[in-house]
């Protein structure tokens, strides 16, 4: 009989310790790893679930601007249906 010991490690800090809300990964070009943002508590943690820094007002405004620009560029019009030729297999 072979016994295998398995150690389970937490790989992603998906839930906030303070509010139990969902965290989202945000990539920063100047840092190697992504930071995880809790939008309710407005803070970032690293992959080890350690507090890194607060979400700044400037970053919040940039995020809001990007979202508004994205919504302006996306059309809500339906694409026309492609009609198939009849009688062709």
Segment 27-39 shows an average pLDDT of 83
In whole angstroms, give the CA distance from residue 15 to residue 46: 12
pLDDT-based confidence at residue 65 (cuts at 50, 70, 90): very high
pLDDT at 9 (0 to 100): 57
Higher pLDDT, 8 or 37: 37
- 69-74 average pLDDT score: 83
What confidence tier does 8 reach under pLDDT thresholds 50, 70, 90?
low
């Amino acid at each position: 009989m072979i016994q295998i010991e398995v150690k389970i490690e937490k790989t992603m800090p998906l839930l906030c310790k303070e509010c139990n809300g969902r965290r989202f990964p945000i990539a920063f070009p100047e840092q190697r790893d992504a930071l995880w943002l809790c939008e309710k508590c407005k803070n970032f943690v690293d992959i080890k679930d350690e507090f890194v820094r607060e979400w700044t007002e400037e970053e919040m405004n940039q995020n809001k601007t990007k979202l508004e620009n994205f919504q302006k560029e996306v059309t809500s019009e339906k694409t026309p249906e492609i009609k198939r030729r009849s009688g062709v297999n």
